[in-house]
Structure 1
Amino acid sequence: MHKANFSVLSVSTIATPHRGSPAADVVVGTHITEVPGFSAFLNMFQVGRGDCQAWASLSTSNTKTFNACTPDVPGVRYLSYGCQFVPGIIDTVAWGYGCQFVPGIIDTVAWGASFHLLNLKEGENDGVVSVASAKWGEYLGTISGVNHTEVIGHKFTQTRPSDVLNFIGGVQPFDHKAFFLKHAKYLASNVEVY
């Protein structure tokens, strides 16, 4: 790395698969990424932007190798959050529209399939990353009721107006901007400059 005119004081991660994801192991292990059109299918739903190589880098074996080769930097404070939710019918079909429903029959598709796989292998998760894998450094907590795309404000989470949500029984989408602002204030108050 080139000499910088700044010092990194902290690194914050949110729903980051520090120890990989069994969902990525399945995608890589089944060679589904080699199926013609699969990348385009993922891109259609904006899953990994169709970058099937990203799935390989997020496997549990590759993240183990990455972590061994990339140790934490002394003097840098590492902070992390995880997310957990239980997919419902609308969550599953709509891929993260910001609605929480009682789990239904359709929850074995999309979010449901990866959620259940992760739940069996690692427990609480956001549909892509388990809480256990998200923990790194100082763990600041688990954001409940939020899936992997909602926590970053994926555009799908903003498409349903509140009157529709109220009518169909959903909850308001997660306010990712308020969360990031709250975390920035936390950093300003809790990370020392030296």
Structure 2
Amino acid sequence: MISRLKPPNVKVLSLTTVASPHRGSAFADYLMETIGSSNLTRIYAAMESFGLETEAFAQLTRNYMNNNFNPKTPDLEGVRYFSYGASLDPTFFSIFRPSHNIIKRLEGALNDGLVSVPSSKWGVYKGTLVGVSHLDLINWTNRVKWLFWSLTGKKRKFNGVAFYLDIADMLAKEGL
């Protein structure tokens, strides 16, 4: 929207991204290679029957982001860009353990189960959220885990609402 659509009467001052795959995801690469183009149509049809979007998979590959999207979507002068990454050391039962391991093997990088820290860096990098999964970032975490933690006296390590309020505070302090 900022550099390609450029809507009239809208002045964008900044963009802050959180664990966004600016350089693509090795997990998307893996899925596309594993599924193969011959099976892709059937899998997309099955996913769409459940109301799930499908176009993003191909558009999240490292090749697409680096050779198509990023060259066509340059940063706009006058806009300040900030980014955050996230890393996770998944437990044995974590839904992100397989994808985390694939990204670690293919990129050799810390990741949140879907996006590596190097891929999430854009503009001024504000830091890496440690022990946070890609779903934690949208406050959509396993409620069973939270229940177990509350029963054992452990507390949540990440509060998505507080994090995004901190981002708003940071932007206000930057005059944005």
Question: How far is 1:28 from its partner?
Answer: 1.1
Question: How far is 1:122 from its partner?
Answer: 3.6
Q: Structure 1: give runs of 5+ residues left out of the alignment.
A: 93-110
Question: How far is 1:6 from its partner?
Answer: 3.0
TM-superposition CA deviations, 1:123-152 (whole Å, max 9, x none): 100000000000000000000100001111
Question: How far is 1:164 from its partner?
Answer: 2.5
Distance 1:18 1:134 in 2: 6
Q: Which amino acid aligns with 1:190?
A: E
Question: How far is 1:153 from its partner?
Answer: 1.3
**TM-score (normalised: structure 1):** 0.75
* Pairs within 5 Å for 1:128-139: 128-139=114-125
Distance 2:20 2:58 in 1: 15
**1:60 to 2:62 alignment:** yes
Question: How far is 1:50 from its partner?
Answer: 3.0
SS at structure 2 position matched to 1:80: strand
TM-superposition CA deviations, 1:157-193 (whole Å, max 9, x none): 262485531445865162101100011011011145x
**1:144 to 2:146 alignment:** no
Q: Are the aligned partners of 1:12 and 1:79 in contact in 2 as well (CA < 8 Å)? A: yes
Name the counterpart of 2:109. 123
Moved over 3 A (4+): 35-44, 160-163, 166-171
Distance 2:72 2:147 in 1: 50
Q: Which amino acid aligns with 1:34?
A: L
Distance 2:130 2:29 in 1: 25
C-alpha root-mean-square deviation of aligned residues, in Å? Answer: 2.7
Name the counterpart of 1:74. 77
Q: Which amino acid aligns with 1:72?
A: D
In structure 2, do the counterparts of structure 1 residues 70 and 159 end up closer, same or farther at CA, with 3 Å as the change threshold? same
In structure 2, do the counterparts of structure 1 residues 39 and 149 end up closer, same or farther at CA, with 3 Å as the change threshold? farther
The structure 2 residue matched to 1:182, chosen from 148, 162, 166, is: 166
Question: How far is 1:51 from its partner?
Answer: 2.4
Distance 1:159 1:23 in 2: 25
SS at structure 2 position matched to 1:114: helix
Distance 1:2 1:82 in 2: 27
SS at structure 2 position matched to 1:72: coil
The structure 2 residue matched to 1:27, chosen from 11, 28, 31, is: 31
Q: Which amino acid aligns with 2:82?
A: L
Name the counterpart of 2:156. 172
Question: How far is 1:40 from its partner?
Answer: 4.6
Count the aligned residue pairs: 168
Q: Which amino acid aligns with 2:104?
A: N
Q: Which amino acid aligns with 1:56?
A: A
Q: Which amino acid aligns with 2:110?
A: E
Sequence identity percentage: 35
SS at structure 2 position matched to 1:151: helix
SS at structure 1 position matched to 2:125: strand
After alignment, is 164-173 or 19-28 more displaced?
Answer: 164-173
Q: Structure 2: give runs of 5+ residues left out of the alignment.
A: none
Question: How far is 1:27 from its partner?
Answer: 1.0
Question: How far is 1:52 from its partner?
Answer: 2.7
